[in-house]
Amino acid sequence: MDLIFASLEILARWDVVLALLVGSVGGVLIGAIPGVGPAVAIAILLPATFSMDPIVGLTVLLGIYGSSMYGGAIPAILINTPGTAVNALTTYDGFPMTARGEARRALSLAYSSSFFGGVFSVICLILFAPVLARIAPLFGSREIFLAALLGIILVVVAHRGQSLIAAALACFGIFLNTVGLEAVKYSKRYTFDQSFLSSGIDLIVVVLGLFALSQAFFLLQGEDEKTRITKLKGGLFQGLRELGRHPRVAGVSASFGVLMGMIPGVGEFTAQFLSYTYAQKSSKRPDDFGHGSSEGLIAAETSNNAVPAAAMVPLLALGIPGEALTAMMLSVFYVHNVVPGPQLFQNDMPFVVALYLALLILNVIVLVFLLFATNQLIKVVKIPNRFLGVCILTLSFVGVYSLRNSATDCIIAAVFGLIGFVLKRLSLPAVPIILGMVLGGIMEVKLRAGMARVKTPFDFIERPVSMILFLMILGVLFIHFRRVWLDRKELKQEKWSTKHSSTTFGAHLSRRRDYLLTERGKKLRAKRSMLSRRSTDKN
């Protein structure tokens, strides 16, 4: 209890309370606007948070991260357009409910499910915090290096069907981190005698370019869409009662969200897929899924909102971000000389619990706000895309310039904005670049520190935790390559069967054609002989 009281004392400040309100309400507004999303908003706000206290800046970003999925359900349900990428599965059952005239019920159920998933995740992590505090001291330089390597591998293999390009982009991110003065001997790397590269390529500049500027370019080149939304009638409290009728689906979905959130590179999409599949297979009415099933909507919204709090575990315990959003938050820690990792759990446990309590409080704030303000909130869906694009473009360049008052940073951000725009048009992931930059720096520092005590390669994995991590890396690689081999084998079998069936069918046609030609030849010969006899008789 002393730990809880110490954490509440950290949160009981007017600036932290204001940050909670601004982050939670602002996150809902951002999530409700299709085409923006939390990554763009966090990228724009990052420069402003560097001047705040760590708890204040992180609370704002956590508020946006944790509440944007609430808002993203609004356009997904009302106009079949997900506000954030992770709300795409919400459209499967949310919009059919709206088409049946049950928009109020669908929104209420989505809010209630998101609230349950968020609260469940935070409670689990508060209970596990003492366990993490005991495990954290077991991680030294070698263990953190292997954990970072495992994180990059998981990010790569998570992009199924795009593993090679994801690996290439992650390597590109690692390369970007090496540009400039290296940290030990201060020798220049890949600067090409250009003074502006001596200080390296700033992570925030790349983040703003890849996410904010690219999204602005994407919105500007599109067309504005007119949307009509009918005003909702009645209260939005019935979803809380309906959620209570499906405790199994809600509990399992929230558990999937917690587990998937703790694994770097996995995130909301895998949690949603597993939860939705489980809910459909265990349902008494599986045919309703995709046509307005309340269980399907619960599974999608519960699982995706259970991920944000769980995603903070590898970030806080090991200093390893599992996705782009937590990678951005890591930069806030570094700016204020707060180093996430084992020492944070040992020396500043109240700060860690305060972050979890902030996530818990923001879920309550968001639910209350949405239950009373949805009718006014749905108007933001009508904001034109091009106007949003201009606003994002302006705010992004202001944020980049404010970092170091450098026009060069603006040019670099614009270049990465074009790269991000191309990746969007080609449906390729930009996240591996960011994680490559962050994890590449961690791997370099920890590898150098760990190699000082290593004489043989086996010394690197002699300790229990490092051995477990090494076996996990081998297991992930084995599963991935086995899956690739099975996919290729299945593809070859499909090609062979297609070729074989077409060959058999072709041979059948060939034989049939020969038969027909033979019959026609017989008829032609018979006709010619008959004509010959007639001419002979006439003569």
pLDDT value for 516: 46
Among 68-77, 336-345, 408-417, the range scoring the smallest mean pLDDT is 336-345
User: What percentage of the chain exceeds 90 in pLDDT?
Assistant: 1
Among 25-39, 316-330, 486-500, 514-528, the range scoring the smallest mean pLDDT is 514-528
What are the contacts of 126-132 at 24+ separation with CB within 8 A? Answer: 126/353, 126/356, 126/357, 126/360, 129/345, 129/349, 129/352, 129/353, 129/356, 132/313, 132/317, 132/345
Is the per-residue pLDDT at 237 higher than 70?
no
Residue 78: band (very low, low, confident or very high) from pLDDT cuts 50, 70, 90 = confident
Q: Are strands 188-189 and 180-181 parallel, antiparallel or unpaired?
A: antiparallel
Task: Report pLDDT digits (tens) over 370-388.
Answer: 877 777 766 666 677 788 7
Pair of tokens at residue 232: 């909702």
530 or 283, which is more confident: 283
pLDDT value for 280: 80
Please tell me the distance from the alpha carbon of residue 458 to that of residue 319, in angstroms, as a whole number.
25
- The count of C-alpha atoms lying within 13 angstroms of the C-alpha of 403, restricted to the half-sphere facing its C-beta, is 29
Question: How does the average pLDDT of the chain come out, rounded?
Answer: 77
Please tell me the distance from the alpha carbon of residue 224 to that of residue 383, in angstroms, as a whole number.
9
Is the per-residue pLDDT at 252 higher than 50?
yes
End-to-end CA distance of the chain: 126
For the chain, give every domain's residue range: 2-138+201-404
pLDDT value for 5: 76
Residue 230's SS3 state is coil
> Which residue type, as a one-letter code, is found at position 535?
S
Residue 444's contacts (CB-CB under 8 Å, 6 or more residues apart) are 177, 178, 183
Query: If you search the block for the tokens 């303000």, which residue do you land on?
Result: 373
Pair of tokens at residue 171: 């390597």
Task: Report pLDDT digits (tens) over 144-190.
Answer: 788 888 878 877 887 777 888 888 998 998 888 888 877 667 778 88
Among 13-27, 84-98, 230-244, 501-515, the range scoring the smallest mean pLDDT is 501-515
Mean pLDDT computed over 24-51: 78
pLDDT value for 81: 67
The answer to whether 359 and 309 have CB atoms below 8 angstroms apart is yes
Please tell me the distance from the alpha carbon of residue 420 to that of residue 413, in angstroms, as a whole number.
10
Task: Report pLDDT digits (tens) over 433-457.
Answer: 887 887 788 788 788 877 777 777 7
413 or 101, which is more confident: 413
Pair of tokens at residue 33: 């606007």
162 or 341, which is more confident: 162
Q: What is the CA radius of gyration of the chain?
A: 29
Q: DSSP H helical segments within 194-293, as ranges?
A: 203-207, 214-220, 238-243, 247-262, 267-282
Of the candidates 183, 209, 178, which has an alpha carbon nearest to the alpha carbon of residue 408? 209
In terms of phi and psi (left: phi > 0; alpha: psi -120 to 50; beta: otherwise), the region of 319 is left
pLDDT value for 394: 84
User: What percentage of the chain exceeds 70 in pLDDT?
Assistant: 83
Of the candidates 54, 51, 27, 52, which has an alpha carbon nearest to the alpha carbon of residue 39? 27
Residue 197: band (very low, low, confident or very high) from pLDDT cuts 50, 70, 90 = confident
Helix (H) / strand (E) containing 75: helix 54-78
Task: Report pLDDT digits (tens) over 447-493.
Answer: 887 777 777 777 777 888 888 888 888 888 898 888 888 878 887 77
pLDDT value for 536: 46
Residue 515: band (very low, low, confident or very high) from pLDDT cuts 50, 70, 90 = very low
Phi and psi at 226, nearest 5°, equal: -90, 130
pLDDT value for 539: 43
Of the candidates 377, 331, 449, which has an alpha carbon nearest to the alpha carbon of residue 54? 331
